[in-house]
Copies of this chain bind each other. A is one copy, B any other.
Amino acid sequence: MIKSGCSIRDLASYVQVAPSTVSRVLNSRRNNVRITEETRKRILDAAQELNYTPNIHAKRLFGKKTNIIGLLVPSYEKMRRHIFEDNHLVRIISGMEQYFQECKYNLLLLFNDDDFIKEKRYLKLFMEKQIDGLLIWGTRHDEAWARELHETGFPYIFLTNTPDDCESLNYIKIDYRQAANDITRLLLNKGHRHIALIRGKPYLSITRDQEQGIREALAAESLTLDENMIFDSKYQFDDGYAATRQLLAGKHPVSAIITASDTMAAGVIAALDKHNLRVPDDVAVASLDSVEGLNEFNHLSPVTAKVPDLEIGGAASRQIIRLIDGKIERVQDVFPMKMVSGETA
């Protein structure tokens, strides 16, 4: 059993100085405060020797920062319905890791079940000064809550998806409209004219953005999206599978299928396979929302737009700390997606 360090007073009496002197040696930057080089050295040496570790709670009690950032993610119940997002989450966290390590910040995972918002637990975390800032990812948030959070003055950033009206809020998001547009143009350039869409949940702004991007690209070629070839989904394999079988059973010709997730793209491919159709020769498959670094589907689908998760995580870590330090007061970043034309296999 390792003994649990000593207090600043123990250290001080060991070196025969006042506790405050120790505190100043250990905390003030070099030239801010005047201390003889000799005293400084004696204290630092003794700190080493006695294995002194300042009690972090005492520090925080004095109103210091906690150096902890909260990351609010959907609770399992919601997560389960968005399994395709899991890899995004780990990637985003990976993107944050480096900078947080450098700045000695830690990440506290918070699960956004309904109670979190109802009971205003985020406010509690804030008031208890448990975290210095809040990053919000993948949760569905009503505007009222966003507004309330905003008005607390507490540093926060919405990541990837935002409440609908987010003009004055802090966010880092992705240009889904542009990505969908790019993907569609790419398919059009390859000669595809019969394009089906298996979209995500229609109430999400992401879904609307994507659809808009597709329609704009089609409109540029004087084409429109055939309403019979639009399917709703819950991002799951089976949704892609079922929609594709329905498509193939119908009378409309299909040359390309755009899906809202990789998981669905796999379902589409499985269904095409059942019909002995080859990808991408017979039917092209595209995913609007791929996880970077996962390359299974590169070998199968021609076009994917990858979410720049690492960059988003990196930006999030840097920006939240700048918010906390008061160096900026608004974060509104938009990242482009990464296009991959997938013909690597």
B-facing mask of A110-140, CB < 8 A → 1, else 0?
1101000000000110111110000000000
Q: Answer yes or no: A34 CB below 8 A from chain B CBs.
A: no
Are A2 and B152 neighbours in the complex by a CB distance under 8 Å?
A: yes
**Which of these binds chain B: A21-29, A101-109, A160-168, A331-339?**
A101-109
A3 to B124, CA, bound (A): 12
Interface of chain A residues 189 through 208 with chain B (CB within 8 A):
none
Among A214-222, A225-233, A289-297, the stretch that binds chain B is: A289-297
CA distance A87 to B293 in the complex (A): 13
Q: Which residues of B contact A79 (CB under 8 A)?
A: 90, 94
In the bound complex, residues from chain B placing their C-beta under 8 Å from that of A151 are: 1-2
For A298, the closest partner residue in chain B by CB is B237
Contact residues of A between 232 and 251, Cβ < 8 Å to B: 237, 241
A108–B110 CB distance below 8 A = no
Scan residues 57-112 of chain A and give those whose CB is less than 8 A from a CB of chain B: 57-58, 60-61, 68, 71, 75-76, 79-80, 83, 86-87, 89-91, 93-95, 97-98, 101, 106-111
A285 CB contacts on chain B under 8 angstroms: none
User: For chain A, what secondary structure do more than half of its interface residues adopt (helix, strand, loop), or is it mixed?
Assistant: helix
For the complex formed by this chain, how many copies does it contain in all?
2
Is A300's CB within 8 Å of the partner chain B? Answer: yes
**Nearest Cβ in chain B — how far from A115, in angstroms?**
8
Question: Which residues of chain B have C-beta atoms less than 8 A from A144's C-beta?
Answer: none
| Cβ-closest chain B residue relative to A113 | B101
A259 at the interface (CB under 8 A from B): no
Pairs A–B under 8 Å by Cβ, sample size 22: A1-B153, A2-B123, A2-B152, A53-B124, A53-B128, A55-B61, A56-B130, A57-B129, A58-B61, A68-B108, A75-B97, A76-B97, A86-B90, A87-B87, A90-B90, A101-B113, A106-B109, A108-B109, A263-B296, A266-B296, A267-B299, A270-B300
Chain A positions near chain B (C-beta within 8 angstroms): 1-2, 4-5, 53-58, 60-61, 68, 71, 75-76, 79-80, 83, 86-87, 89-91, 93-95, 97-98, 101, 106-111, 113, 123-124, 126-130, 151-153, 237, 241, 263, 266-267, 270, 274, 293-296, 299-300, 345
- Beyond contacts A87-B87, A274-B345: 6 other A-B pairs, Cβ-Cβ < 8 A, are A1-B153, A68-B108, A83-B293, A93-B109, A101-B113, A106-B109
